[in-house]
Every structure is written in C-alpha cells, then in structure tokens.
Amino acid sequence: MKLTAICIGKTKRHNIRGHDVTTAYLKSEVQGPVKIHASGIKGNEVAVHNDHIYAVSSTTYDYWKDRLGGSDEDWPKGRFAENLIIDGLDEVALAVGDVLRIGDEVVLSVSGPRIPCFKVCWRLGQPDSFIPEFAISGHSGIYLNVVKTGTIIPGDHVQVEAKSEPRTLVLNISKALFADTASLDQMQAMSELEGLSPMSTFFLTSKIAAERERAQLSKGRWSGSRALRVKGIRQETADTKSVWLEAPDGTAPLAGALAGQFLAVKIPLAKGEITRLWSLSDYQDGPDHYRITIKRSPSGPGSAYMHETLAVGDSLRVSSPLGQFTLARGNPKPVVLFAGGIGLTPLLAMLKAHTSVKNYPPVFFFHAVQDGLHQAHRDELDQLGALPDVTVIHIFSRPNENDISSGRFDYQGYVTKEIIAGKLDGLHIMDGDKRIDMPPCELLYFLCGPQAFQTHIRESLLALEANAHQIYTESFGTEPGAPPPAIVETAEVTFLPDGVVAKWDAGSNLSMLELAEVYGLTPPNACRMGVCHTCTSRLVAGRTYYDREIAIAPPEGDFLLCCSRPGTEKVTVTLPVNTDNGYDPVED
C-alpha cells in the first residue's frame, strides 16, 4: 500500500441550503513533506468532526465516479473532505484498533467510520436520501487517531497491522447506525470500544439512548387519567411539599418519563374537580414512583389541597407523563440549567438524568432563591454537585444570618450576565489529549421560573452570544410549578401527496416518521436523529414540535420527520420524495 495524496482545509463559513454553516469540508491537495502532530495534520482545521485524520482508499474515487458519473475533472482530490488517500487500502477489512504505519515515523490507529451528514450530499450534488447508501457502501472512508507523530510525504509505504481478536469492523458500526443491523447490546459494546472516535461514540450513544427511551416511554402509558396511591409526603420547606405517587398493588406499572415532563393531576374539591400540572422533580429509568414538589400558593386551591388535605394512602387521578420541555440524554454538548425558586423541579430531574449516563458532558445548575429556608432539595443538589463535571451555583437574593455564617450560597443578589460569563469562561471538553473549547454559542440552556426571571436570563445569554434556538424555557402557570403548554393527546395527521390520514396518540409517542411508516409510507430517512436532514418535509397545516435540539434547522416551513411530533390536533404535511438527480457536484 502507498500514500498517494495529502489534503488539508481551513474552517470557513458557507451558505448551504440557505444557512450559513461553519465547515472545514473543502480541502485541497498539498505536496509534502507534512507534519503529523498529536491532534492531526499540521495546517488542517476541523469544525464539527474532532477526529484527528480522515482517510479514504484510491478505490473510493473509482467507485463513486462509476456510481455517480462525471469526468476526472469533477473528482479532484479532497472531494470527500479526506486528509489522506491511500492506494490499496481495504476499508471493509479494517476494525477499530487496527494500526496503520506510514513511512518510517508515523503510526495511526483506526478509530471509526465516516459519519456522513447533509454536507456530503451538498458536495456531491445528491439528495439527502443518499446518506445511508454512502455510509454502508464500504467506500466512505475511516477516521484515524494519531499514535505516533512524525512526517509523511506522498509515496510513503503504508502497512496495516490488524488488532488481535475480538475485532469490530468499521463497516459493522456504519451498518448499526444507518441500517439498524445491531441489537442494543451490540451497539452498547461498540460504544465502549477502546479508541473509538468521538463522533461514532456520540452517534451510538444517542441511538442507544433514543431506542431505550422509546421503549421505556411506550410501556405502561395510559390514556386520560388513572388512580395512583399517595406513597409519601415530605415537607421540604415551610411552603413546599413533595408528594410520592405509586401504582396501587395489583395494577399496571408506571409509565416511563422524560426528564422535564409533568403530570396532569385531578384535584377533587368540594366545588368540583380541577386539574393542575406539576413537574416531576425526580428521575428514574423504569420508575416505581413519581415525585412532584408543590409550592403553596396563597390563592391556589390546587396547591392548598395538596398541602392541607392530601394524606398518605389517598388516591389521586393522574395522567401519564406529558410535556415537551425535556432534555435528551446522550447529547455531546455541555448543559446549563437556570432555576428560579420552585422552577428547580423539572431541572433537578434533568440534572439527575444527565448524570445517569456514562461520559456525560459538563453541566451547570444555577439556582436563584430568596434564602436557604426557601430552598427545596438542597441535599440532593449538594450530592449531585459533588459529581465530576457538575457545577451547582446557589444565588440567594436575601440570605439570612444562618446562610451567611454557614456560607450556604455563592452569590448574593440576582443572576447576572457577569456571573454567568465567569462560570462559563474557559469551558471545554477533552477528546483524549485534545482540548475543544466550548463557547456560549455551543451550549444548551434550559430555563424554568417566573417569566421575569426567564426574560432576564435569556437576555443575558443572548448578550453572551448564546444561540437563541438552543435556549429552552418552561414558565409557571397560575400556580407555581404548573407549566402551561397545551396537551395534545391525539392528532390526525394527513400525509401528502398520498393523502394518507393517520391517527396519532400520546400513548404511542411515535415520531412523525414512525407514524408514517406504521401507515405503510416509506419517506426517505437515514440517521433518525435530526442530523442528516434526509427526512425534511413541508408543513402544510398545523404545528409540530421537536423532541430534541436540532443542530441546523431546515428552511422555514420545513421540518424533520424523525424527531417531530404533532403539536396540534390536526396536522398536514408533504413528505419528501426519493429523487436521484445524478452527479452535480458543488464546485470549490
């Protein structure tokens, strides 16, 4: 085998489908010798993919030129955003951990497959439905980590040393991600491979989390309300109580919940039944109880009943967990949570869920409250704050003498832009020995509290150049702790152009893509995680909402089927159609 070409590129902004996208995709061939540092090739920059080096075989060009057409001029080196082109490289036979020796100095290890996104289609002039074909073709390239630095030059000899058994083929990881060929246990084993690329780890972890949560949420859900038994009640502060609810003996187990969701609780008052919404303040996989934490409202009959009348052993009629203000586990970005007073309830559940997975990114929890006497769940915040990469910041507006003498708070007053900036300054994640800075625009933010609190925090974050579409909020209703979003339990979805009318219900929790498939439709899709944009569809009528953060939103009026659900009782969409426009590459 022989190294035939070296390509590098710089990070630039390009207009892709109407969006300004920062990418280092465009690469050009350079002549050697070239230095290989611990973090990759000297002079090469990366934007999203933080893997060291991307390599393809010379046969990759032959394969795709034959498949897509075009002249030799249409296929300049660097077309796939690769760094290295190696003659004789058989990527189908490569496994994670295999070693490549280039020349007399450089040693690289195979870390995973190329994870294609819509930018591949942009460069090759293909529809987004092309992504899975590219990913599982055996001609999509591999990522490499640097084991030993040195100098390389085109013409260097390349030697492959296979890792000892057991071996996990790179192609099998691609098929697990894009062709659903692996079980959850197999994907879990893949995600734990030593030396696996960060991008592969993220996608596997995200797919595993999504599959597990989908399975969990589909179990035990009920329509309307069911009777749950009050298992326990605890006074948290003078005006705050927690209530534990469990399934009565001999009845179906509880439904799973996403961190941040709420329960619709029916309150039996003398004047008639009322419904109040309270966020779940705890998180469990496969819950054996629900916990809600309720602040007493001076003029609220619902909270008054929960504080003054409710007793252990009583029965309450409760909905399945509901709500769109949720944190998806498995995301690679640091998370910042801002809680105002009792607004900590859904965010505490998020903090527990976030830290329940392996290798979670850093998380910050800002809790603004009057003083220590009004701070619920302080013991749990202290326990979680002691975990690695968890920072809890207590801000008391009017601390009492005990707070001051015991040092129970970090700042006096209110959450300010300066406090936020100081805590987030220098935030980064590590990829091995490589530091990746995480500025405010890269973080995810969740806000819950009084409207004035949220408005102030949002303005502060925007002033720090946070991305507006990555700031998620939950407001109080007429009673603290009661988030007000409309509950859509059922919806009628019309899929055009076929005119298929589908029935959706919250109990099934199907995405719009899954709903279409249940009704026999086959819209194009690939990653099923909101990344590749293959399933982009046109919203004709009604509303939908995303169940996770979307890195790059589709054009206005469009939405992604794979991670959307109905937001109104009637929705009409036009599905994408598989098309093949032939080879029409975007020029450099």
pLDDT at position 85: 94
**pLDDT per residue as tens digits for the range 320-366:** 888 778 887 767 789 999 999 999 999 999 999 999 987 788 999 99
Mean pLDDT in the chain? 86
Q: How wide is the angle at C-alpha 177 spanned by C-alphas 173 and 180, nearest 5°?
A: 105
Beta-bridge mates of residue 22:
13
Pairing verdict, β 84-87 and 53-57: parallel
Question: Cβ atoms within 10 A of the Cβ of 349, count?
Answer: 25
Picking from 557, 554, 553, the residue whose alpha carbon sits closest to that of residue 541 is: 557
| E strand segments, 362-484 | 363-369, 390-396, 411-412, 428-431, 434-437, 444-449, 471-475
- Model confidence at 508, pLDDT cuts 50, 70, 90, reads low
User: Rounded mean pLDDT of 552-573?
Assistant: 87
- Model confidence at 439, pLDDT cuts 50, 70, 90, reads confident
Q: Helix (H, G, I), strand (E, B), or coil: what is residue 334? A: coil
DSSP-H helix ranges across 321-393: 344-354, 378-385
pLDDT at position 188: 93
User: Rounded mean pLDDT of 215-243?
Assistant: 89
What tokens were used for 514?
Answer: 């899954």
> Token match 């109990």: residue?
507
pLDDT at position 47: 62
User: What is the pTM for the complete model shown?
Assistant: 0.65
pLDDT at position 475: 57
User: Rounded mean pLDDT of 107-113?
Assistant: 95
User: Rounded mean pLDDT of 257-270?
Assistant: 90
What tokens were used for 342?
Answer: 């009792």
- Model confidence at 584, pLDDT cuts 50, 70, 90, reads very low
Q: Which comes out higher in pLDDT, residue 160 or 214? A: 160
Of 11-25, 497-511, 543-557, the range with the lowest mean pLDDT is: 11-25
Spell out the domains of the chain, with CATH numbers in brackets: 2-213 (2.40.33.20), 225-319 (2.40.30.10), 335-475 (3.40.50.80), 490-574 (3.10.20.30)
In angstroms, how far apart are the furthest CA atoms of the chain? 87
**pLDDT per residue as tens digits for the range 160-194:** 999 888 999 999 999 999 988 999 999 999 999 99
